[in-house]
Chain A
Amino acid sequence: MKRTIPLLIVIILGFLFVAYVFIPHKVSADFYDWYMKWIKVIGPFAVVLGVGSLIMVHTSKIKRKAPNWGYSMVTIVALVITTLTGFIWGIQEGTPFMWIFKNFNVPMGATMFSLLAFYIASAAYKAFRARSVEATVLLIAAIIVMLGRVSIGQAITHWIPDATEWILNVPNLAAKRGIGLGVGLGMTATSLKIILGIERSYLGGGK
């Protein structure tokens, strides 16, 4: 009841979907329509997983008065205010919901990732070393691509953007394809493990 039936649901649905791909029959089309209708009703409820776990983590910090619990308060208040503005004034352009998005979410999200520009510059200076022949090859390829993707490369000589295109279309393509084939097989194997009931971590811990 706790584990076996959910596993059976995955196995049965999994095999039915494999069959659906190969069998263009009315029965399989009906099965597909039925599933789509039901999953669209079930799907929206999943939002509770992300929101719920965030609330749990931060409320427990506040309750325990854990170090820096005040910041958890900031998270909860921000979550509540954003949600309320959406419900009270709607979610269209021009509403307070969008105002919060533009002036809070966009600058913070984009700036957080832009910090990486400084770290990558620092890493280029302090860690990117030609310690071996392979590392030197990597370094040269990186430099050519860096120059070839901006117009300074073309200004120096047209060979640089041409070399960049060649690197991307030939050795890079071969490398990404070789790795990608392994990844593709791995993904297929993982999907198979799920529908065969071997991979069960998505069900969570416990009995």
Chain B
Amino acid sequence: MTEIIGIWIAAFLTLCMFSFLYKDNPFYKFAEHLFVGCSMGYAIPLTWYNAFIPYAYNPLFLKKEYILIIPFIIGMMYWLRFSGKFSWVSRYPIAFSMGIVGMGVPMSMHANVLVQMRSMMLPLNNINTILIFIGTVSILCYFFFSKAHTGAYGKFTSIGIWFMMVGFGASFGYTVMARISLLIGRIEFLLEEWLHLL
């Protein structure tokens, strides 16, 4: 019974959302606000059971690792974010969490720049490798604004534009696919689970 009620509620809320296609209306607004509340409501119990209890409560209170009282207090400083006078205190846990960004400097450089560059240094022994090489270099030149894009250099950077247009075209094609897939999923739900037509 609860399953059937659930499906009817889900179908009603789906239609509330679709009603926005006609125009903005109270049904859509209701569903939109309900969605925000429900989504945020998940974070609290999930964090409590899956993170706070195993990582903070158990080690400190059950295993009696009392040194962890310090990060516990630092964590509680987040709560002062919303107090007008002491909101600056919440910068301490934020700063502590941001420290790991340091690791991102070499690692992001490695993953996103060095490895990508290394694969550009392969022997140019076939037409595709040559095209990838020309395309990448011309795009990098296009985004180099310290030199005017004129003459032979300008012509070379315009090759970059062509490559980018093909890339954007591919992304657009895929974007159409993505959006349609989401719609198919919802219509499948209405036809199969709600109306049993499939």
Please list the residues of chain A having a beta carbon within 8 angstroms of any beta carbon in chain B. Answer: 2-3, 5-7, 9-10, 12-18, 20-22, 35, 37-54, 56, 68, 71-72, 74-83, 86-87, 90-91, 97, 99-120, 124, 134-135, 137-146, 149-150, 166-185, 187-188, 191-192, 194-195, 202-204, 206-207
Q: CA separation between A140 and B51, bound complex, in Å?
A: 49
Task: For B138, list chain A residues within 8 Å (CB).
Answer: 178
Question: Could you tell me if B106 and A114 are in contact, using CB atoms closer than 8 angstroms?
Answer: no
Question: Could you tell me if A7 and B95 are in contact, using CB atoms closer than 8 angstroms?
Answer: yes
Main secondary structure of the interface of A (DSSP, over half): helix
| 4 extra A-B contacts, CB within 8 A, seeds A43-B75, A144-B173 | A40-B51, A49-B81, A105-B42, A203-B95
Q: Mark B85-128, 1 if CB is under 8 A from A, else 0.
A: 00110111111111111111111110111001100100000001
Task: For A116, list chain B residues within 8 Å (CB).
Answer: 179, 182
The answer to whether B43 has its CB under 8 Å from any CB of chain A is yes
Task: For B36, list chain A residues within 8 Å (CB).
Answer: 54, 75, 78
Given A99-B2, A108-B31, A138-B168, also A44-B68 (CB < 8 A): no
Task: For A107, list chain B residues within 8 Å (CB).
Answer: 10-11, 13-14, 17, 186, 189
| Number of residues on chain B facing chain A (CB within 8 A) | 118
Q: CA separation between A22 and B105, bound complex, in Å?
A: 12
Question: Could you tell me if A13 and B102 are in contact, using CB atoms closer than 8 angstroms?
Answer: yes
Contact among A21, A37, A109, A177 for B35, CB-based, below 8 A: A109
Question: Could you tell me if A117 and B179 are in contact, using CB atoms closer than 8 angstroms?
Answer: yes
Q: CA separation between A56 and B81, bound complex, in Å?
A: 11
Closest to A109 in B: B35
Given A14-B101, A178-B135, also A149-B174 (CB < 8 A): yes
The answer to whether B132 has its CB under 8 Å from any CB of chain A is yes
A104 to chain B, nearest CB (A): 5
Task: For B197, list chain A residues within 8 Å (CB).
Answer: none
Closest to B51 in A: A44
Task: For A13, list chain B residues within 8 Å (CB).
Answer: 95-96, 98-100, 102
Which interface residue of A5, A40, A180 has the most chain B CB atoms within 10 A? Answer: A40
The answer to whether B156 has its CB under 8 Å from any CB of chain A is no
Q: CA separation between A206 and B109, bound complex, in Å?
A: 32
Question: Could you tell me if B55 and A41 are in contact, using CB atoms closer than 8 angstroms?
Answer: yes
Q: CA separation between A7 and B40, bound complex, in Å?
A: 30
Question: Could you tell me if A15 and B102 are in contact, using CB atoms closer than 8 angstroms?
Answer: yes
Question: Could you tell me if A79 and B41 are in contact, using CB atoms closer than 8 angstroms?
Answer: yes
